[in-house]
Structure 1
Amino acid sequence: MVEEFRLRSVAAAAYGPAALFGLSEGAVLPVIALSAIDRGASTSTAALIAALLGVGSLAANIPAGMLATRIGERRSMLVAAAVMVAGLLVCLVDLGHGPWSLLLYGCGVVLIGAAAAVYGLARQTYLTEIVPLHMRARALSTLGGSMRIGVFLGPFAGAAAMQFAGLPGAYYVSLAAIFAAGALVLRVPDLEVTADERAAASAVTTRGMLKQRWRVYATLGAGVLLLSAIRQTRQTVVPLWAAHIGLSPTTSSIIYGVAGAVDALTFYPAGKVMDRYGRRWVAVPATLVLGVSFLLMPLAAGAGLLTVAAMVMGFGNGIGSGIVMTLGADVSPSVGRPTHIGIWNELADIGTGVGPLILSAVTALAGLGAGIVASGVVGFAAAAALWRWIPRPHHAAPS
């Protein structure tokens, strides 16, 4: 009966739209910097514009919690789809070379990042509410896996479209995927929330939530920040080290794709382990494996060992699928949950910004190998923090 509920109710409500939303993101992620360069941006400016995705997400996390509280999770997902469409259409407007064209394009990228934040919070809150507690980790890890599968397939779909339509082809694929995601969300039933419950949730403010639960954010939240930092850095180190040892871009892309496949295929068993034995049994090994993979990478002098290190990295990240969402749900209050999750996601996004900065700073001071090792140490620090601060027992969620 449990499996029937998960497949028939949760899949239609969250997994299909999540995979399509991931495909929509994945189709455009590889071409953001290229599109900026096509509009006259330098390499550094293109990198800055690509970073605006994170800026949009950081800016939208807290408002996303407020939005979900006021209009509900289902409508928030529809708003996110509409914002995503708006961002993609703005990105498709090409004013030629020049600062105004880049400014307009940057605004579109910010909208895409903001849409991802709103959609992510809404689907996470929705699943947390409707899935039984004993299945929470499986549900959320599968949600994370569905998104990753979409992100993994998106670049291939975008590349196919670009053979016929050039760079805009990737955006057309993204638009088609987000329209399909919105159509599925339209069929999702609303959560049953009474007027009194809605009023009580609306009375919860971000400041009040921070004051009430600051210890959770300063302890377990710090572990999640560190985990997010090493996760984000892993997307950079493989192509950087591949270039450092003289591998071609094609070889680098193949290695990256192999790691992505391992990542996308290992999410569900981790959820079962978390539900059965506790969150520590996945969170800590995932961060330790990520840390070890970073230590292996500077030892790679050729494609073979680099592929092994990248696969280990993909495995560590894959088994941790959904862990940030699961921990955030575990420590969420019953009243004001969207507000809490907005703060939680903000901590994770801060980590995604900090991780590459650590790599960049240490690399500038001591070289790329030292920067990768320092990033691996972040993984070990995350493992220690998660081991110390994940609540015992794992299903005990403070009210």
Structure 2
Amino acid sequence: MTAGSVDPGTRQMLWRFAPMIYGPTLLFGLGEGALLPLLPVIAASLGADIAQAALIASALVVARLIGNLPAGWLVARIGERYTMAIAGLLALAGACGVLVAPNVGVLAVSVFGIGLCASAFGLARHAFMTTRVPLAYRARALSVLGGSFRLGMFTGPFVAAAVLAIWHDERAVTWFFIACLVALVVLVLVGRDPEDELAAEGHALHRSGRAAAAERAAVPPAGVFRTMWHHRGVLARLGVSAATLSAMRQARVYLLPLWGVSLQLDAGVIALIVGLTGALEFALFYSSGQIMDRWGRLWACLPSMLIMGSAFFGLAFTHDVPNATGWFIAGAVLVGVGNGLSAGISMTLGADVAPRPEPAAFLGSWRTLTDAGGAAAPLLIAGLSAAVSLPFATAVIGVVGLVGALGFWRYVPRYVPHAG
């Protein structure tokens, strides 16, 4: 995102969210991105075998999935700011547990706790933006939120490499994560609410935020499961479509390296190709928000899913053809472009259809569904690859993406009136 690509009014609005939302999100992503690749290494140093080390790393994803519903309950009762602060403090305790863990069991519990806190922090900031960002800026604001986390996750491993080069101890990276969490908690507690900053200006953000606060005060929080049942229609239709998007995103994390390995490429070449997709994803994150705000949600949802679904489906038929490596690079580039255009889509659609007086309980259900889609993708890939073949699994993932595109095409205009 360049300075010239954002108009002054939008830049001012986005900047107001930096101290309390974007800054903490970047810090969390940076710390998590640094620590995550080293969790298997730390587990192995405590005596874990390969399967146990993989289980430790996956505990973070499982905890994110489980934590969404209780996080929705917590946000509905104590508010977004306090939930983010509590989540940061508890994650800090989990990071300390990773630092001093004497065995694999303590490490697993600590990592699981960090995942629960990540879920609560993510849901709280999503609810915060849902109630405070004007509709005209919503997609761009949430795309920048997604871009902040992507930037942290993208640069985190490089920071970890630098820390290891200096201290030669994998647990030194945990200290970096702890420092990020301390800064995060300070920003959340000290950062001023954007609607307070705009109170004297009479800005729409202030008015919309105060109106939402008054509505929340007038309406008692609904239960998470009651909310889920009341909105079962949109969750079963648009929510499932969003879950296929999450599945595509997770599929690229697993499929692209596996495809490179199956082609017997050098590890450095695989890392370079995957890194190229990450660079494309980060470079395009703001474009998604601009497209959704200016032309409608469907104009970002549909191309993103069609590009990724077609890329995976087409890649499945190139494994044994001449110049298979070239086709792999082309497919990876298309997946990177498609995923870059998807930045903020799931959060924006969730915010669009969330009930206005109290969105937290609904967003807990929404994020549980989308996270389940992401968690199911690696299992689907592993099962189909073992039972049939990797190309078959890749083709199925492509079909999932195309089916998701069909779901967006049908249900986005139905549930999001300003979808275009």
Shorter-chain TM-score bucket reads over 0.9
Work out the CA distance in 2 between the residues paired with 1:9 and 1:350.
32
- Is structure 2 residue 54 aligned with structure 1 residue 47? yes
Could you tell me which amino acid in structure 2 is paired with residue 157 of structure 1?
V
CA contact (8 A) 1:70 1:198 kept: no
- TM-score (normalised: structure 2): 0.88
C-alpha separation in 1, matches of 2:162 and 2:92: 21
**Alignment match, 1:335:** 357
What secondary structure, in the 3-state scheme, does the structure 2 residue paired with 1:134 have?
helix
Deviation at 1:202, TM superposition (A): 4.2
Aligned counterparts, 1:102-117, within 5 A: 102-117=104-119
Spell out, residue by residue over 1:325-358, the C-alpha distance to the aligned partner (whole angstroms, 9 max, x if none): 0000000101220111111000011111111111
Distance in 2 of aligned mates of 1:373 and 1:87: 39
The answer on 1:139 being equivalent to 2:141 is yes
- Shift in Å, 1:394: 3.6
Is 1:278–1:394's contact at 8 Å kept on the other side of the alignment? no
Q: Give the C-alpha shift of residue 23 in structure 1.
A: 0.5
For the residues of structure 2 that align with 1:395 and 1:168, how far apart are their CA atoms? 50
Tell me how far 1:225 sits from its aligned partner.
1.3
Query: Any unmatched runs of 5+ in structure 1?
Result: 96-100
Counterpart for residue 350 of structure 1: 372
2:18 corresponding residue in structure 1: 11
CA distance in 2, matches of 1:276, 1:392: 18
Residue 311, structure 1, aligned to residue 333, structure 2: yes
Secondary structure of the residue that 2:47 maps to in structure 1?
coil
Q: 1:151 to 1:43 in 2, by over 3 A?
A: same
Match of 1:367 among 377, 380, 389: 389
Indicate conservation of the 8 Å contact 2:241/2:405, yes or no: yes
Partner of 2:348: 326
The amino acid of 1:234's aligned partner reads: R
| Contact 1:70–1:202, Cα closer than 8 Å, also in 2 | no
Cα separation, partners in 2 of 1:201 and 1:50, compared to 1, 3 Å: farther
Partner AA of 2:372 in structure 1: I
1:246 equivalent to 2:261? Answer: no
Pair 1:383 & 2:405 matched: yes
Shift of 1:149: 0.6
Normalized against structure 1, the TM-score is what? 0.93
Residue from 176, 183, 187 that aligns with 1:184: 187
* Residues 295 and 104 of structure 1, relative CA distance in 2, 3 Å threshold: same
Does residue 24 of the first structure (1) align with residue 31 of the second (2)? yes
Q: Is the 8 A contact 2:31 2:176 kept in 1?
A: yes
Structure 1 residue 167, shift from structure 2 partner: 0.8
The CA RMSD measured in Å over matched residues stands at 2.0
Alpha-carbon distance in structure 2 between the residues aligned to 1:302 and 1:181: 45
Question: How far apart, in 2, do the equivalents of 1:243 and 1:175 lie?
Answer: 34
User: Is it true that 1:258 corresponds to 2:313 in the alignment?
Assistant: no
The aligned amino acid for 1:377 is V
> Which shows bigger deviation, 338-347 or 50-59?
50-59
In structure 2, do the counterparts of structure 1 residues 176 and 229 end up closer, same or farther at CA, with 3 Å as the change threshold?
same
Give the structure 2 partner of residue 157 of structure 1: 159
Match of 1:282 in 2: 300
The change in CA–CA distance for 1:314 and 1:6 in structure 2 (over 3 A counts) is same
Percent of pairs with identical residues: 38
Q: Shift of residue 197 of structure 1?
A: 4.3
Which of 73, 88, 92 matches 1:85?
Answer: 92
In structure 2, C-alpha distance between the alignment counterparts of 1:4 and 1:240, rounded to whole Å:
40
Counterpart of 2:117, as a letter, is A
> SS where residue 362 of structure 1 aligns?
helix
Measured after TM superposition, the shift of residue 201 of structure 1 is: 5.0
Supply the distance in 2 between the matched residues of 1:195 and 1:384 (Cα, whole angstroms).
36
| Cα distance change of structure 1 residues 206 and 7 upon mapping to structure 2, 3 Å threshold | closer
Quickly say closer, same or farther: Cα 1:311–1:179, change in 2 above 3 A: farther
Letter of the 1:289 partner, please give it: I
Between 150-159 and 223-232, report the one with greater CA deviation: 223-232
* CA–CA distance in structure 1, aligned partners of residues 275 and 114 of structure 2: 24
Q: Count how many residue pairs are aligned between Structure 1 and Structure 2.
A: 392
1:56 Cα deviation from its structure 2 partner: 1.0
1:270-293 CA distances to partner (integer Å, 9 max, x unpaired)?
111101111110011111111122
Instruction: Letter of the 1:11 partner, please give it.
Output: A
1:38 deviates by 2.1
Which whole-Å CA distance do the structure 2 matches of 1:67 and 1:259 have between them?
A: 36
Q: What letter matches 1:13 in structure 2?
A: M
Deviation of 1:305 after TM superposition, in Å, equals 3.2
SS in 1 for 2:17: helix
1:195 deviates by 8.4
Amino acid aligned to 2:104: L
* One-letter amino acid matched to 2:262: H
Deviations 1:65-84 (A, max 9, x none): 11111211111111121122
1:81–1:178 Cα contact (<8 Å) kept? yes
**Aligned partners of 2:137, 2:216: CA distance in 1, in Å?**
25
Partner of 1:167: helix, strand, or coil?
coil
Spell out, residue by residue over 1:123-160, the C-alpha distance to the aligned partner (whole angstroms, 9 max, x if none): 11111122111110011011101110111000100111
Paired position in structure 1 for 2:177? 174
